[in-house]
């Protein structure tokens, strides 16, 4: 489950300036597609359209063959997990922030989500145990720590589709590597759309789409794109 298809999607925010032009691609179930390209190329717009922050008027977006305009907001939210660039956490405990929307989650599920998001790993660097960690206030966390909380929350929610907005550029390189590893483990087995800021972070993507000014100008694997240069 979780096949994504964009058919000839053209989009404008203001009805005047075209932002996406004839965008066509698919992500087979369980595959990872990465969107790369300069800032302003339209990468985030693609993810916003999939989540229906905006509706397309020209072209069609489907999930498992169903037009997203015919899917209820509830099913769309259940089907798609987003790990955003700048995670905004609630001013509550980390446990609350991870559990959000899954009040029924068991302790074992919580621990597994924390482990996959590598929260366990970074807790070891702190003079705090897991217990006090989950009791800390979300607002005090660093950018990388917030990312991990967002990843753990997404794992716990268990959606078949993931949108990853890789904002690892603001992180130091050690944190970036750790977050990257956590993101890779979450993406495994899910249909994943990655907004990538560096080609080197998406070596594992099945397909890389290069966007420029709202068009897909190149598509291929990491190796084939490098060869074409
Ligand atoms: P990318 O993710 O590749 O950096 P975006 O999809 O965020 O690009 O933006 C593509 C273009 O759409 C940019 O020119 C941006 O200024 C414009 N844009 C983004 N969001 C909006 C909006 N809400 N209203 C109007 N224009 C927008
Ligand atoms: P409460 O009213 O529930 O105590 P607060 O909003 O006062 O919650 O914040 C709780 C703790 O988080 C306080 O120690 C505060 O200094 C800290 N804090 C609040 N906002 C931030 C922030 N943006 N960055 C870092 N620490 C913050």
pLDDT tens-digit readout, 149-163? 888 899 899 999 999
pLDDT given at position 131: 45
pLDDT given at position 138: 60
- Return the residue matching tokens 């080609």: 199
The contacts of residue 131 (CB under 8 Å, 6+ apart) are none
Say what the ipTM of the complex is. 0.66
d(CA 50, CA 54): 8
The pLDDT tens digits of the residues spanning 108-155 come to 888 888 888 887 655 555 444 444 455 556 667 777 888 888 888 998
Ligand 2 site-directed mutation target among 92, 136, 140, 145, most atoms within 8 Å of CB: 140
According to DSSP, the residues that pair with 220 across neighbouring strands are 208
Instruction: Evaluate: CB of 54 within 6 angstroms of ligand 1.
Output: no
pLDDT given at position 147: 84
Distance from Cα 40 to the centre of ligand 1, integer Å: 6
Confidence of residue 61 (pLDDT cuts 50, 70, 90): very high
Whether the per-residue pLDDT at 55 is higher than 90: the answer is yes
d(CA 4, CA 6): 7
d(CA 131, CA 112): 15
pLDDT given at position 52: 94
Whether the per-residue pLDDT at 59 is higher than 60: the answer is yes
pLDDT given at position 87: 82
pTM: 0.80
Instruction: Evaluate: CB of 40 within 6 angstroms of ligand 1.
Output: yes
Which value, to the nearest 10 degrees, does the dihedral of the CA atoms of residues 52, 57, 61, 62 take?
90
The contacts of residue 170 (CB under 8 Å, 6+ apart) are 143
The contacts of residue 155 (CB under 8 Å, 6+ apart) are 112, 113, 116, 117, 186
Distance from Cα 123 to the centre of ligand 2, integer Å: 20
pLDDT given at position 127: 42
Q: How many of the other CB atoms lie within 10 Å of CB of 7? A: 15
d(CA 62, CA 65): 5
Whether the per-residue pLDDT at 197 is higher than 50: the answer is yes
Percent of the chain at pLDDT above 70? 89
């Amino acid at each position: 489950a979780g096949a994504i298809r964009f058919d000839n999607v053209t989009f404008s925010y203001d009805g005047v300036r075209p932002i996406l032009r004839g965008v066509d691609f698919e992500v087979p179930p369980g595959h990872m597609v990465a969107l790369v390209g300069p800032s302003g190329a339209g990468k985030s717009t693609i993810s916003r359209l999939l989540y229906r922050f905006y509706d397309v008027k020209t072209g069609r977006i489907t999930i498992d063959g169903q037009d997203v305009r015919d899917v209820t907001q509830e099913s769309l939210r259940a089907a798609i997990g987003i790990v955003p660039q700048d995670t905004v956490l609630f001013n509550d405990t980390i446990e609350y922030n991870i559990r959000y929307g899954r009040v029924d989650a068991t302790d074992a599920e919580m621990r597994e989500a924390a482990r996959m998001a590598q929260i366990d790993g970074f807790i070891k660097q702190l003079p705090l145990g897991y217990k006090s960690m989950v009791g800390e206030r979300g607002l005090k966390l660093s950018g990388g720590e917030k990312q991990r909380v967002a990843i753990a929350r997404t794992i716990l929610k268990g959606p078949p589709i993931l949108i990853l907005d890789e904002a690892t550029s603001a992180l130091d390189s050690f944190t970036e590597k750790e977050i990257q590893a956590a993101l890779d483990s979450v993406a495994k087995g899910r249909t994943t759309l990655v907004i990538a800021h560096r080609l080197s972070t998406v070596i594992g993507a099945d397909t890389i789409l290069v966007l420029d000014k709202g068009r897909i100008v190149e598509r291929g694997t990491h190796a084939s794109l490098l060869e074409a240069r």
